[in-house]
Amino acid sequence: MDIGDEGQEFVMRALAIGYLAPAVFDDLIEVYVRMARIGRTSVTYELAAYRASDDELMVTATQTLVLVDLDERKAVPIPETYKEAIRAFEGETLEA
């Protein structure tokens, strides 16, 4: 899926991680990722990692990315076509 014009990419603006339980070698980890918010120029993801054997929540994270024109080094609006595709996938829980 094209995000925007050529020369535009999402770059990381912020990342917050909470470590809640340790993992050990050979643990099977299930990771869930969802886009929680889509704004004018940025998107925010929520992530969670669980140990599969006991369903213990091990890590939570929130990551914000901004769509940037790489030549200008400025934030640019996220195209409506991209927003519509994300809304169709994420459903009503997606914040705007």
Q: What is the pLDDT of residue 44?
A: 97
CB 82 within 8 A of CB 33: no
Amino acid in the structure at residue 80 = E
pTM of the model: 0.85
Torsion angle in degrees (nearest 10) through CA of 71, 77, 4, 86: 140
CB 34 within 8 A of CB 90: yes
Write out pLDDT tens, residues 2-58: 576 688 999 999 999 999 999 999 999 999 999 999 999 999 999 999 999 999 999
Q: Which CATH class is domain 8-93?
A: alpha beta
Residue extents of the structural domains in the chain: 8-93
Of the pLDDT bands very low, low, confident and very high (cuts 50, 70, 90), residue 92 is confident
